[in-house]
Amino acid sequence: MIIRKLFKFENAHIVRECSTLRCSRNLHGHSYKVEVLLESNYLDNGQMVYDFGLTKLYIKRCWIALTTPSHYGAKMIRGI
């Protein structure tokens, strides 16, 4: 059995060291999509391949780790 979940993220930041005043003061944004596919030949005791609540938590932790300073982000990934 294969299950999948599509996660969507929005992120915005200011580019502080850019060459124009407009660029250094205005927010710049990005949109992201991550699709997770899980496959298993067995179901757990709840008759599920995997709990999407846990999947959402892990994706959130990875996202935070990728978008924060490395000393903090590394701790988040290890916590998974």
Q: Convert 5-16 into a string of H (helix), E (strand) and C (coil).
A: EEEEEEEEEECC
Which residues of the chain are modeled with pLDDT < 70? 69-80
Domain boundaries, position 36 = 2-78
pLDDT at 41: 92
- Render pLDDT for 5-24 as a digit per residue (tens, 0 to 9): 898 888 887 777 778 887 77
pLDDT at 73: 46
The residue type of 19 is S
* Residue 68 φ then ψ, to 5°: -125, 165
| pTM of model > 0.75 | no
As given in the structure block, the two tokens for residue 65 are 């780790």
pLDDT at 69: 63
Q: Tally the C-alpha atoms within 13 A of residue 80's C-alpha that lie toward its C-beta.
A: 16
Q: Count of domains in the chain?
A: 1
